[in-house]
Structure 1
Amino acid sequence: MRRRTSTREAVRIVRYRPPATQGALALRPVAVPVRGPGLRVVRPGDGVEAEVRAVAGAAVRLVVEVLAGTRPAHQLSLVAVPAVCRVVASHGGVGTRGRRVVPPKVLSSRVQRPSPAVAEAVAVVVVAGRVHALALRLEHARGRWRCTALETTAP
């Protein structure tokens, strides 16, 4: 039986190109939502959702810190498969040697569950003073959630 090789990459770096404008900026005022305190009602059976959100948040922070050069790449192996770790490690901290490293920030993040064993997380992050998008796919296997795919606009 022949084994099919997958052409899908584990990590994809997307180069951002701003839309072309005709000499005028398309700006409009943005309303800033007011958030209440971080309290929420805990319902029975919410343990899995809370676990997924915690793992996704940790994975986003780890990936962003490795990309920014503030965290060693080997620590990413806690939440990611080896293919993702290798690619992120090769891109992480690029251009930060000899310069002051600005700590990255996670501005916002969202998690959704397309199936019981799969979660997808998206985040807006700041790396080296620039805003970037980050998308992760988490899969549950052998009792753990692991990042199996990553897409980002960060360098």
Structure 2
Amino acid sequence: MRTSTELRSPARFVTDEDALPAQLPLPLPGSPTSVVPVPQTRDGEELARQLRAPLARFMQGVTEVLCGGRPARQLSAWMTPDAYRALVTALVRQGRVPTRQDRRPAGGRLASVHLSVVSERAVEVTGRMVHRGRSHAIAVRLELVTSPRGRAVWTCTALEWA
């Protein structure tokens, strides 16, 4: 007869070498939604380290715009005119443009962010947002361009979501 403390199958502990590539855990229910996940990087560690915090904030802003909690014009300074026009057109077509009467929070949150350095002048960021209990994917391409003031700034050149 087996005692209650015996295991039915032998236990196996997973070591760091056995672990899969790191992925951000999902936030616990009831955790604050203002916490933005740190982007996971694929390549270009030095450049990625510099861009982690600004890209996480930008992706949180994109999430809020897509969920209707923030006006799209607040992202216009970080986007090319073509990318911004495409964003506004898609939001209008989907009926997601917030009005002044919308006072309730949109409820969308950014669940994960992944950063891939394409080159020294281009990065691609993917993320997963959760809105009304459903997950949606966001993909952004940012390129280093020269501003009218002569400074090098990261600008969103493409934005896709589903």
Same fold, TM-score > 0.5, yes or no? yes
CA distance in 2, matches of 1:122, 1:33: 13
Aligned to 1:23: none
Percent identity of equivalent pairs? 31
CA distance in 2, matches of 1:87, 1:104: 21
Alignment partner of 1:129 is 2:133:
yes
| Letter in structure 1 aligned against 2:58 | A
Alignment partner of 1:107 is 2:111:
yes
Greater alpha carbon shift after TM alignment, 94-103 vs 111-120:
94-103
Aligned length: 113
Deviation at 1:130?
1.8
Pairwise CA RMSD of aligned residues? 2.9
Give 1:48-59 correspondences, 5 Å limit.
48-59=47-58
Structure 2 residue matching 1:102: 3-state secondary structure: coil
Whether contact under 8 Å (1:66, 1:88) holds in the other structure is no
Larger radius of gyration: 2
- Which 4+ runs in 1 deviate beyond 3 A? 32-35, 95-101
Deviation at 1:114?
1.5
Structure 2 residue matching 1:62: 3-state secondary structure: helix
Aligned to 1:147: 156
Ranges in structure 2 where 5+ consecutive residues have no aligned partner? 1-22, 27-36, 38-44, 147-151
Q: Which has the higher contact order (CA 8 A, sep 6+)?
A: 1
Deviation at 1:34?
6.7
Q: Deviations over 1:117-150 (max 9, x none)?
A: 1101010101233210011111011110111011
Identify if the C-alpha distance between structure 1 residues 48 and 75 changes in structure 2 by more than 3 Å, giving closer, same or farther: same
CA distance in 2, matches of 1:124, 1:59: 13
Greater alpha carbon shift after TM alignment, 71-80 vs 131-140:
71-80
Greater alpha carbon shift after TM alignment, 93-102 vs 135-144:
93-102
Whether contact under 8 Å (1:109, 1:122) holds in the other structure is yes
Structure 1 residue matching 2:137: 3-state secondary structure: strand
Deviation at 1:54?
2.4
CA distance in 1, matches of 2:131, 2:60: 11
TM-score (norm 1): 0.61
| Letter in structure 1 aligned against 2:159 | L
TM-score (norm 2): 0.58
Give 1:10-89 correspondences, 5 Å limit.
48-89=47-88
1:117 to 121, 144, 155: 121
